[in-house]
Amino acid sequence: MNILILSAGTRNKVVQYFKKTVGATGKVVATDMSNLAPAIYEADKFYLVPRMTAPGYIDVIFDICKTEQINAVLTLIDPELSLLARHKDAFKALGVTVVGSSYELCERALDKMQMYRWLTERGYPCARSYVDKETFFADVAAGKIAYPVFVKPVCGSASVAISKVYDRETVELLFAHSENLMIQEFLDGQEIGADVYIDMISGEVVSVFTKKKIVMRAGETDKAVSFKDPKLFDLICRFAKESGWSGQIDIDIFDIDGTYYISEVNPRFGGGYPHAYECGCDHMALIKNNIHGHANAPSVGNYDEGVYMMKHNEVMIKRM
């Protein structure tokens, strides 16, 4: 299997894991727009490419797929998920499988209000969310929601431009200076991360790994501990199946007094995925099986509890 990893950035471990999985019979090719993206140097080969919004970008990716005889492609950043999904048929014509969900689902994941409406319509507990600040102020007055709350972009990732707000004046100020903002209820509980793989052939959830987040940094899990709860596994499987996700997804969840609230979904490998891999949830192998036309047998929760992940600094030195 030859796999192409787009926007590799700093995700060295993801590249390393794929190299281990494909072994000597395949290769891992990585791309990034910067030659200072350390993960590209972990790949068997890398390409420097234009910014994904540049004209002709997707044609550059198509050319790489042809040159390197790529079998599967995936991206490690949110904005590129929809781009790959939109061109899934064109990739298929080249013999390349897009490891990811449909365009509709990628857009839903990126648009937090769209996700909120989908969750509430189907009865999943989630944080109250508003795009109309006057409706929010009315609900505050009625006691339906209280400060603090988060004010964030409706479409965003990596916790960029998120503000924790404690009063009406700050909400008014933020809305006066930015567009496309939303207000989201502050969920005061244990934050949980779930690394999930939905088989691209059978459509079944075949792997779930859950961790309690201990420390966050720049929107990613910095320290965490693995745990298991059958009730949570059932919720995740039902949610993933009902939604129609495919391939790798990362789910943010909150435990509020024993009730699990679904917060966000990233239909890609999350920054905390190495925790799952090192505990035995090898989703790279699941992808390889699917690319070779084999469905994976379900193995939900097949890992040890009480295993801690602690990220630490590493450096890469290159003379260019």
Query: 35-74 pLDDT, tens per residue?
Result: 999 999 999 999 999 999 999 999 999 999 999 999 999 9
Cα(272)–Cα(106) distance, rounded to whole angstroms? 20
Q: Binning pLDDT at 50, 70 and 90, where does residue 162 land?
A: confident
Cα(235)–Cα(30) distance, rounded to whole angstroms? 34
Asked if 73 and 65 touch (Cβ cutoff 8 Å), the reply is: yes
Q: Which fold has domain 2-98?
A: Rossmann fold (3.40.50)
The CATH class, in words, for 128-185 is: alpha beta
Q: Binning pLDDT at 50, 70 and 90, where does residue 320 land?
A: confident
Residue type at 294? H
| Domain 188-310 falls under CATH 3.40.50.880 | no
Q: Binning pLDDT at 50, 70 and 90, where does residue 192 land?
A: very high
Residue with tokens 């891992």: 28
Pure H helices in the chain: 12-22, 57-68, 79-86, 88-93, 103-110, 112-121, 133-141, 168-177, 230-243, 273-278, 283-291
Domain ranges for the chain:
2-98, 128-185, 188-310
Query: What is the predicted pLDDT for the residue at 161?
Result: 72
pTM value?
0.94
Give the residue among 106, 127, 129, 80 at the shortest CA–CA distance from 243. 106
Return mean pLDDT, the chain: 95
Query: What is the predicted pLDDT for the residue at 155?
Result: 87
Q: Sign (positive/negative) of CA torsion 76, 81, 84, 88?
A: positive
How far apart, in Å, are the Cα atoms of 12 and each of 18, 76, 89, 257?
Answer: 10, 11, 29, 37
Q: Binning pLDDT at 50, 70 and 90, where does residue 284 land?
A: very high
